[in-house]
Amino acid sequence: MAGDSATKIKAYAVPAVLFSLSMLYQLVLLPRAFPPSHYDVLGLKTYCSMEEVKEAYENLESKWNSGLEIPTTTEFIKIRYAYELLTNPIWKRNYDVFGINEQDHVLEKLSQQYAGEKFSNIALPLLRTVASDTGDDAFNVITSKEFQSMFQDSKPWLLQVYSYGSNQSAQFANSWKRIAALLNGVANIGMVELGEVQVAAYLSERKPMGRFFFRNGLPSVVAFPSGCKTSDCLIRFEGELSVDAVIDWFAMAVLNLPRIFYYSKESLGPRFLAKSSPHKVKVIFFSKTGERATPAIRQAARDYWNYATFACVLWREEEFSVWWNTFGVESAPAVVFLKDPGLKPLVYHGSVNDSWFLDVLEQNKQQELPQLRSLTSEELGCDARGYSRAGRDTLTWYCAILAGRLGPELDSMRETMRRVQETLSKSSELKAASEDEHSITAAVALKSKRLTLSWLDGETQKNYCFFYLNIESSYETCGPRRVPTDVPRLFIIRYERNATEDTFKVDKKAKSIWEFHQQEVDPAAQLSVTYNGSAEVSRIIQWMSNIIEDGDSRKHPFYRVKTPELVPEDAEPFWSRGPQGLLSKSMGTKQKIQRTIIRIYDYLGDPRIGPALLLGALMSFGSIWLMRTQQNRSVQSSQPSQADNGVG
């Protein structure tokens, strides 16, 4: 018997579990998902008219006044709350269509406040009405007709769904003005009032039963990225509403712009300055408020990523001496540009205007002595495949390059070359610095853009460095460090183009290996000379002038070769990989888990789940019972036949 009972329990385990789940859902989970509505409190049908609500309340009030019924404080507060909510046209509309009930916290608060008192002592009305004022026309309130034609340009859209009767929408109005100002010119800004039911429903979420709702209430902020014209690709803001949070979310998730991080005085050096690429200008914003960078500043950070790197610092008065001694910053707001080693920082105090900042950034995007990189080689005129900075008509030009490994030795020599460039740029200082009249040749070449001064990372660009410094001791300058000391070296390259060949060059297939090799060489001929003198500014200027004078006055062999490619020195920025690259894998996984939990929670409120589980329990129970009955019948029918065979 015990064995038969265990077998039956095991056989009917699935329908038993399904039946238990259906009862749990119907008796516990579903009532929590569907608490009594405010219509239920008044004993009315859902969506009834305001006249019916008033009539029901008046009937209850007459009973209270006559003494037939005396409600408890909690009961009165619930009834009065429902009456005030459902007799306000805007609140009733919001509640009926979208389930919005943003003042429900008042119920618990008033119940605690008036606990133990008579209901007649409760101050009325319970709910506070505030008209939401959208202010000026900058908010661009969108109607149903305008919504259909608003996606004509390529700018993204940021929309706020609000209600005239919403207290929270009224409180958010000033923040929305600030958001609209910060995104001016970057995105289109609009507002949708819940009275535009068709548009508001289009922008809302839907529960499994099809009811429209806004998960975080009002106001609700949604965005349409550039190119998105349907609700399938809109993005919802799900955080705490504030200017900083909305701007940061919109900049990263919608505009695909980088985030500019804040650093403390302890972390700025090791985590920003030390890790920034040596060729980039460092731009540091000092802020009193701690607000994140505006979209315009982030746009600049993305556009000038190859030239500059950005950081923010929260200004504290007690740290004044640190920032004054380090950068010369007196107060915030301020912007600091750090360029070449040993060069005094450029400091601008005062609020940052976007257009002004872009002009200043364009003027200071390069270091005073620029680095020769794959990105800047043609721009600097230091590429045998390109042309001189002076223009395509210039057939002979020069590039003086300081090569070396990153370190104090290279920094010291970079400062020397920067002084050389500064001296050449100022004719008065040039005459004072040199007694040789021929030194003026380098100054003229620099002014006419036939001469460029730059520096090269000899370790990263080892192939390029070894190619030009083809000497026995070049390992002291190029490639990985092998010896304790580094020796930066200066060399100058003379480029020459053949005007006739450039004019009549015909694209043809190579007929032999030699012709193929000839087609592979760079179009400009190159000759290089290495400097072996002292690090005095006047000597370096005189040497460059002699090289230029000799290169311009004498005819040299037109020797062309294939120059090694410069290696890209920066990894691909994360924002260039698209919006999905903005979040780390861990953050992406965390958000997916949160969304899955929210989706499950939404489906727990589906009243179809309980009956479905019960139906599954009954069907599985019936199937198992039928199968077991058929098995028992087959066993019983086989036993008499076996007995007959035994007798015979």
- The DSSP string of 321-373 is HHHHHHH---SSSEEEEE-STTPPPEEEESPPPHHHHHHHHHHTSS-SS-B--
Per residue, the 3-state secondary structure of 525-559, as one string, reads: EEEEEECCCCCCHHHHHHHHHHHHHHHHHCCCCCC
Evaluate if residue 375 carries a pLDDT over 80.
Answer: yes
pLDDT above 50: residue 587 = no
| Residues 267 and 283 reside in one and the same domain | yes
Looking at residue 647, its pLDDT comes to: 46
pLDDT at position 583, please? 39
Query: In whole angstroms, how far apart are CA 295 and each of 129, 138, 224, 251, 300?
Result: 36, 19, 16, 6, 9
Q: What is the CATH number of the domain that holds 87?
A: 1.10.287.110
Same domain for 166 and 57, yes or no, is: no
Tokens found for residue 222: 């949604």
Specify which of 325-334, 437-446, 509-518, 588-597 reaches the highest per-range mean pLDDT: 325-334
Q: Residue 268 in contact with residue 311, Cβ under 8 Å?
A: yes
Q: CA-CA distances (angstroms) from residue 158 to 186, 187, 224, 509? A: 10, 7, 7, 55
CA 633/CA 619 separation, integer angstroms: 21
Asked if residue 453 and residue 389 are part of one domain, the reply reads yes
Do 444 and 542 reside in the same domain of the chain? yes
Last residue in a domain, options 236, 254, 272: 254
Residue 538 has pLDDT above 80, yes or no: yes
What does the pLDDT look like over 351-371, one tens digit per residue? 988 889 999 999 999 899 999
What percentage of the chain reaches a pLDDT higher than 70? 86
Q: What percent of the chain has pLDDT over 90?
A: 61
For 3-51, the DSSP string reads HHHHHHHHHTHHHHHHHHHHHHIIIIIHHHHSPPPHHHHTT--TT--HH
DSSP percent split of the chain into helix, strand, coil, nearest 5: 50, 15, 40
Of 292-301, 420-429, 438-447, the one with minimum mean pLDDT is: 420-429
* Residue at 136 is within a domain: no
User: Taken in order 136, 137, 138, 141, is the CA torsion positive or negative?
Assistant: positive
Would you tell me the crossing angle of helices 50-66 and 73-86 to the nearest 10 degrees? 150
pLDDT, position 315: 96
Mean pLDDT of 388-408: 94
- In this prediction, residue 642 carries a pLDDT of 53
Residue 405 lies in a domain: yes
Residues 93 and 164 in one domain: no
SS3 state at 627: helix
CATH number at residue 434: 3.40.30
Query: Two tokens at 642?
Result: 């076996």
In a domain, 601, yes or no: no
Q: What is the pLDDT of residues 296-336, one digit of tens each?
A: 999 999 999 989 999 999 999 999 999 999 999 999 999 99
Could you report the per-residue pLDDT of 161-170, keeping only the tens digit for each? 999 989 999 9
Measured CA distances, 224 to 34, 160, 187, 189, 196 (Å): 33, 12, 10, 11, 18
Residue bearing the bigger pLDDT, 513 or 525 = 525
Q: Which two tokens stand for residue 223?
A: 């965005």
Structure confidence by residue, pLDDT tens digits, 76-101: 999 999 999 999 999 999 999 999 99
Res. 517 pLDDT band, cuts 50 70 90: very low
Domain final residue, candidates 317, 338, 364: 364
Q: How far apart are CA 199 and CA 641, in angstroms?
A: 77
* Residues belonging to the chain: 648
How many domains is the chain built from? 4
Look up residue 388 and give its DSSP letter: B
Res. 595 pLDDT band, cuts 50 70 90: low
Residue 516: pLDDT over 80: no
Q: Is residue 543 one of the residues assigned to a domain?
A: yes
Is residue 224 over pLDDT 90?
Answer: yes
As a whole number of angstroms, the distance between CA 441 and CA 437 comes to: 8
Strand 281-287: give its sheet, edge to edge. Answer: 262-263, 308-314, 281-287, 334-338, 346-349
User: What average pLDDT does the structure give for the chain?
Assistant: 86
Helix (H) / strand (E) element for 622: namely: helix 609-647
Instruction: Using the 3D structure, point to which of 71, 104, 129 is the last residue of a domain.
Output: 129
Q: Which domain holds residue 154?
A: 144-254
Are both 238 and 298 inside the same structural domain? no
3-class SS of residue 231: coil
Residue 391 and residue 348 share a domain:
no
Q: Are residues 352 and 391 in the same domain?
A: no
Does residue 222 fall inside a structural domain? Answer: yes
Q: How confident is the model at residue 639 (pLDDT cuts 50, 70, 90)?
A: low
| Residue 611, in any domain of the structure | no
pLDDT at 484: 77
The CA-atom distances, in angstroms, between 15 and each of 20, 52, 525, 608, 618 are 8, 46, 87, 18, 7
**323 and 388 fall within a common domain:** no
pLDDT in tens, 47-78: 999 999 999 999 999 999 888 888 999 999 99
Confidence of residue 519 (pLDDT cuts 50, 70, 90): low
Specify the pLDDT at position 625: 86
pTM confidence score: 0.76
Residue 234 within a domain: yes
24 within a domain of the structure (yes/no): no
224: how many CB neighbours lie within 10 A of its CB?
A: 24
Residue 598 pLDDT: 65
Dump pLDDT digits (tens) for 462-514: 999 999 998 888 899 999 988 778 899 999 999 999 876 554 444 444 444 44
Q: Which residues pair with 308 in a beta bridge?
A: 281
Task: Write the pLDDT tens digit of every residue in 184-208.
Answer: 889 999 999 999 999 999 999 998 7
Q: Do 289 and 346 share a domain, yes or no?
A: yes
pLDDT bin (cut points 50, 70, 90) of residue 437 is low
pLDDT band of 568, cuts 50, 70, 90: confident
Give the residue, 255 or 8, on which the prediction is more confident: 255
Would you state the structure tokens that stand for residue 557, as one six-digit string? 């062999």
Say yes or no: 245 and 269 in one domain: no
Q: What is the largest CA-CA distance in the chain?
A: 139
Residue 501: the pLDDT is 58
Q: H/E element holding 159?
A: strand 157-162
Residue 286 sits in the same domain as residue 205: no
In the structure, how many helices (H) and strands (E) does the chain have?
A: 26, 15
CATH number at residue 274: 3.40.30.10
